[in-house]
Amino acid sequence: MLAYFEQNSKIWKSSTLWAHFSMIKAMLNVANNQDIKAPDDKYFMFKVVVVMGILGACCREELCQMSLNNIEDFGNTLSSGKHSR
């Protein structure tokens, strides 16, 4: 699925990617009774990277170089610090 979304992220807007993800997720849940959710305690950082990559918040090199030191917590918002320099 990641390859599918990576390929289409070059031609689709982020809203279209999310719509397709939601459709695929619903189809898997209905057709095969499979849920593609993952527990936060184990996969939270993967989820953050996927969201930031799909939404275009960071380019590939920035995602690879990111660490927890790059994340700023503003209470109800997180920032990668990319634009705050």
Condensed to tens digits (0 to 9), the pLDDT of residues 47-65 reads: 777 777 666 667 777 777 8
pLDDT higher than threshold 50 for residue 84: no
Measure the CA–CA gap between 26 and 65, rounded to whole angstroms: 33
Beta bridge partners of residue 73, listed in sequence order: 78
pLDDT higher than threshold 70 for residue 34: no
Residue from 68, 36, 24 nearest 49 by CA:
68
What's the mean per-residue pLDDT of the chain?
A: 76
Measure the CA–CA gap between 6 and 2, rounded to whole angstroms: 6
* Polymer length of the chain: 85
pLDDT higher than threshold 60 for residue 30: yes
Burial (0-12, 13-18, 19+ Cβ within 10 Å), 52: middle
